[in-house]
A and B are shown apart, each in its own frame.
Chain A
Amino acid sequence: MKNIIVCMKQVLDPEIPLSLFHIDTEAKQAIPPKAMPPVLSPFDENALEAALKIKDVQEATVTVISLGKKLNRVVVSSALAAGADQLVLLQDESFGDFNTYLTANAIAAAIKKLGQYDLILCGLQASDTNTGQVGIGIASILGIPCITAASKVELVDDKIKIEKALADGHEVIEAPSPVVVTATYEVGALREPGVEDFMSASKKPITIWNAGELGIETGNTNRFDLVKMYQPAHEGKCEILEGASSEEKAEKLALKLKEIKVI
Chain B
Amino acid sequence: MSPVAESYFGISGYIIFWLLFVVALGLFIQRASLLLRLLKLGRPENRFDRMGYRFTSMLTIGFTQSSNLKSLTLKDPAALGHAIMFWGLIIFGVSYFVFIGLGGGFGLYTIFSGSSFETVFFSILDIVAVLVILSMIWVVIKRYLIVPDRLKREMSPAEKIVQPLLIVVIIGLMLLHFGIEGFRYAAYGIPGSGPPLGVPLAQTLVNAGISGDTLAAVYKIFWWLNFVLLLVAVIYAPRSKHLHPLASFPNLLFRNLAPKGSVKPVDLKKPETSGAAEIRDFSWKQLLDLYSCTWCGRCHVVCPAQLSGKPLSPRELILGMKEHLLEEGPKLLKKQVPASSVAVDKAGVTDPESSTEHTGRGKTLIGDVISEEAIWSCTTCLACQDICPVNNEHIDKIIDLRRHLQMIAKTEVARDTLKNLRVRGNPWRGTMYARTDWTEGLNIKVVGEDSNIDVLYWVGCTEALEDRSLKVARAVAKLMKQAGVNFGILGEEEMCCGDPARRLGAEHLFQMLAMNNIQLLQSYNIKKIVTACPHCFNTLKNEYPKLEGQFDVVHHTQFIVELLKDKKLRVKPSGDALVTYQDPCYLGRYNDIFDVPRQIINDILGMTLVEMEQNKKDGFCCGGGGGRMWIEEKFGQRINEMRLDQAINTQAKVVAIACPFCLQMYEDAAKAKNAEESLKVRDIAELVEESLEVSQDTAKNMK
Chain A hits for B507, CB < 8 A: 195
- How near does chain A come to B269, taking the closest CB pair, in angstroms? 8
B271 near A17: Cβ-Cβ < 8 Å = no
A20 interfacial by beta-carbon distance below 8 Å = yes
How many residues on A have C-beta within 8 angstroms of the other chain's C-beta atoms? 21
Chain B hits for A191, CB < 8 A: 410
* With A15-B430, A56-B346 as contacts: A195 and B407 at CB distance below 8 Å: yes
B268 interfacial by beta-carbon distance below 8 Å = yes
- How near does chain A come to B419, taking the closest CB pair, in angstroms? 6
The total number of A-B Cβ pairs within 8 Å is 50
Which segment of B242-250, B431-439, B608-616 sits at the interface? Answer: B431-439
- How near does chain A come to B401, taking the closest CB pair, in angstroms? 16
Map CB proximity to A onto B425-466 as digits: 1 under 8 Å, 0 otherwise. Answer: 000011111110100000000000000000000000000000
Name A56's closest neighbour in chain B (CB-CB). Answer: B346
Which residue of the partner chain, among B347, B434, B493, contacts A19 with CB atoms under 8 Å?
A: B434
Which segment of A34-42, A158-166, A222-230, A235-243 sits at the interface? Answer: A34-42
A97 interfacial by beta-carbon distance below 8 Å = no
* With A17-B432, A17-B433, A35-B435 as contacts: A192 and B418 at CB distance below 8 Å: yes
* With A35-B492, A39-B423 as contacts: A196 and B435 at CB distance below 8 Å: no
A15–B423 alpha-carbon span in the complex (Å): 11
A34–B446 alpha-carbon span in the complex (Å): 15
Chain B hits for A34, CB < 8 A: 492
Chain A hits for B508, CB < 8 A: 194-195, 198
* With A15-B430, A17-B431, A18-B432 as contacts: A194 and B424 at CB distance below 8 Å: no
B347 near A56: Cβ-Cβ < 8 Å = yes
- How near does chain B come to A66, taking the closest CB pair, in angstroms? 16
For window 526-550 of B, CB contacts with A under 8 Å fall at none
Most buried by B among A15, A195, A196: A195
A189 near B430: Cβ-Cβ < 8 Å = no
A80–B399 alpha-carbon span in the complex (Å): 28
A199 interfacial by beta-carbon distance below 8 Å = yes
B82 interfacial by beta-carbon distance below 8 Å = no
A85 interfacial by beta-carbon distance below 8 Å = no
Most buried by A among B422, B434, B435: B434
B580 interfacial by beta-carbon distance below 8 Å = no
A13 interfacial by beta-carbon distance below 8 Å = yes
A34–B449 alpha-carbon span in the complex (Å): 14
B54 interfacial by beta-carbon distance below 8 Å = no
* With A56-B346, A196-B271 as contacts: A17 and B437 at CB distance below 8 Å: yes
A117–B407 alpha-carbon span in the complex (Å): 32
- How near does chain A come to B267, taking the closest CB pair, in angstroms? 10
* With A15-B430, A19-B433, A192-B419 as contacts: A199 and B271 at CB distance below 8 Å: yes
Which residue of the partner chain, among B410, B422, B435, contacts A194 with CB atoms under 8 Å?
A: B410
B492 near A19: Cβ-Cβ < 8 Å = no
A203–B614 alpha-carbon span in the complex (Å): 54
Map CB proximity to B onto A1-43 as digits: 1 under 8 Å, 0 otherwise. Answer: 0000000000001011111100000000000001111010000
Chain A hits for B431, CB < 8 A: 17
A15–B434 alpha-carbon span in the complex (Å): 11
Chain B hits for A39, CB < 8 A: 423
Chain A hits for B215, CB < 8 A: none
* With A36-B424, A189-B415, A191-B410 as contacts: A20 and B274 at CB distance below 8 Å: no
Chain A hits for B418, CB < 8 A: 192
B659 interfacial by beta-carbon distance below 8 Å = no
B79 interfacial by beta-carbon distance below 8 Å = no
Name A36's closest neighbour in chain B (CB-CB). Answer: B424
Chain A hits for B347, CB < 8 A: 56
B268 near A195: Cβ-Cβ < 8 Å = yes
B408 interfacial by beta-carbon distance below 8 Å = yes
Name A20's closest neighbour in chain B (CB-CB). Answer: B434
A195–B510 alpha-carbon span in the complex (Å): 11
Most buried by A among B268, B274, B424, B433: B424
Which residue of the partner chain, among A13, A15, A16, A195, contacts B271 with CB atoms under 8 Å?
A: A195
Chain B hits for A15, CB < 8 A: 424, 429-430
- How near does chain B come to A118, taking the closest CB pair, in angstroms? 20
Map CB proximity to B onto A37-58 as digits: 1 under 8 Å, 0 otherwise. Answer: 1010000000000000000100
Which A residues form the contact surface with B (CB < 8 A)? 13, 15-20, 34-37, 39, 56, 189, 191-192, 194-196, 198-199
Which B residues form the contact surface with A (CB < 8 A)? 268, 271, 274, 346-347, 407-408, 410, 415-416, 418-419, 422-424, 429-435, 437, 492-493, 507-508
What are 12 sample pairs from A and B whose C-beta atoms fall under 8 A apart? A15-B424, A15-B429, A16-B434, A17-B432, A17-B434, A19-B434, A19-B437, A34-B492, A35-B493, A192-B418, A195-B268, A195-B408
Which 9 residue pairs spanning A and B have beta carbons closest together?
A35-B492, A195-B508, A195-B271, A17-B434, A196-B271, A195-B407, A19-B434, A20-B434, A194-B407
